[in-house]
């Protein structure tokens, strides 16, 4: 058996090599500028740190200045100062605020190559008790806010010839009911909308070289997950009953926030140049009922 470099099959294989940049290059975001909405929350913070670690400069945006102070302080402690990461206060329910965020990012860092939309809110109430204004509030932040951000960032990328990447944070709750007997139809509806928005945005923006995908994790131990409560406008007995349902064990593990942030980071790199319009689900098998153990019937409330 001898190698013949003039063989047609060998020549084709060698041609592949010219199309294969080093793995270290395509898994890096060095020199890129990323905008992360919800960047001071749990997942947004971890995504911001990973993007900084990968070499990007990051504009972390949220509505909370208190969270921003903590985020910037912690990042500076580990070596990422204002030359690498800045904060922009934004209200994603206000289109002018979103437009100003995009302008500020451009003025500060000169471009926007990467967008991650992690801004979201939620609370708990059964659909038959859920006030319409609470449904509209959650959808306005989670879905409409994502739309406003994608709208203005895509316009920026299109006008400046940036073949960028957008990663929209969704949730597997769009098809995985949680808690056991429901409790956040508004959140699930908003995240299902984000999945659909990612597909349509990918379709519209592909001709400009812009890739759009969604990442849909399951439950994580974020500050939001540990602080969001049942709506306090409900009667006390209904609040207590819903808290009992929420506390019913359903998952065999809680994923680390960084395990999801790593997937989000990957979706921001050239490593995934062949993917657009997809929903990536880093829920460790939850969607397919892949669990370490199955909950016992005794764990669930009696009829």
Give domain status of residue 8, yes or no. Answer: no
What pLDDT is stored for residue 184 in this prediction? 81
Single pTM value for the model: 0.87
Give domain status of residue 16, yes or no. Answer: no
What pLDDT is stored for residue 301 in this prediction? 61
Q: Domain of 234?
A: 23-299
Q: How far apart are the first and last CA of the chain?
A: 72
What pLDDT is stored for residue 283 in this prediction? 86
How far is residue 270 from each of residues 223, 259, 262, measured CA to CA in Å?
A: 31, 19, 14
What pLDDT is stored for residue 288 in this prediction? 80
What pLDDT is stored for residue 254 in this prediction? 66
Say how far apart CA 10 and CA 96 lie, in whole Å: 57
Give domain status of residue 111, yes or no. Answer: yes
Give domain status of residue 1, yes or no. Answer: no
Give domain status of residue 213, yes or no. Answer: yes
Give domain status of residue 17, yes or no. Answer: no
Burial code (b: 16+ CB inside 10 Å, e: under 16) for 224-262 equals eeeeeebbeebeeeebebbeebbeeebeeeebebbebbe
CATH code for the domain in which residue 227 is found: 3.40.50.720
What pLDDT is stored for residue 29 in this prediction? 98
Average pLDDT per 10 consecutive residues for the chain, totaling 303 residues: 91 92 95 97 95 98 95 97 98 98 98 97 85 94 98 98 98 78 84 97 98 88 55 64 59 77 97 96 83 62 63
3-state secondary structure of 223: helix
Give domain status of residue 120, yes or no. Answer: yes
Catalytic residue among 187, 243, 293, 300: 187
Q: How many domains does the chain have?
A: 1
Give domain status of residue 279, yes or no. Answer: yes
Any catalytic annotation for residue 80?
no
């Amino acid at each position: 058996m001898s190698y013949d470099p003039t063989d047609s099959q060998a020549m084709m294989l060698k041609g592949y090599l010219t199309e294969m940049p080093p793995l270290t290059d395509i898994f890096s975001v060095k020199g890129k500028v990323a905008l992360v909405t919800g960047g001071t929350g749990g997942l947004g913070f971890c995504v911001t740190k990973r993007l900084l670690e990968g070499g990007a400069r990051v504009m972390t945006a949220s509505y909370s200045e208190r969270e921003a102070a903590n985020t910037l302080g912690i990042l500076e402690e580990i070596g990422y100062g204002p030359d690498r990461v800045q904060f922009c206060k934004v209200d994603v329910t206000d289109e002018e605020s979103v437009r100003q965020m995009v302008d500020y990012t451009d003025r500060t860092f000169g471009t926007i190559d990467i967008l991650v939309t992690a801004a979201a809110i939620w609370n708990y109430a059964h659909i038959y008790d859920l006030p319409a204004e609470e449904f509209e509030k959650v959808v306005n932040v989670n879905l409409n806010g994502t739309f406003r951000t994608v709208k203005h960032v895509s316009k920026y990328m299109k006008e400046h010839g940036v073949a960028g990447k957008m990663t929209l944070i969704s949730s597997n709750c769009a098809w995985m009911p949680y808690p056991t007997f429901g409790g956040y139809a508004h959140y699930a509806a908003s995240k299902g909308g984000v999945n659909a928005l990612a597909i349509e945005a990918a379709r519209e923006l592909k001709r400009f070289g812009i890739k759009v995908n969604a990442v849909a994790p399951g439950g994580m131990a974020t500050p939001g997950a540990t602080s969001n409560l049942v709506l306090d406008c409900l009667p006390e007995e209904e609040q207590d009953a819903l808290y009992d349902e929420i506390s019913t064990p359903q998952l065999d593990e809680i994923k680390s926030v960084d395990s999801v942030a790593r997937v989000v980071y990957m979706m921001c790199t050239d490593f995934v140049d062949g993917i657009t319009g997809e929903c990536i689900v880093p829920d460790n098998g939850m969607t397919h009922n892949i669990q370490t153990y199955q909950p016992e019937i005794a764990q669930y409330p009696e009829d």
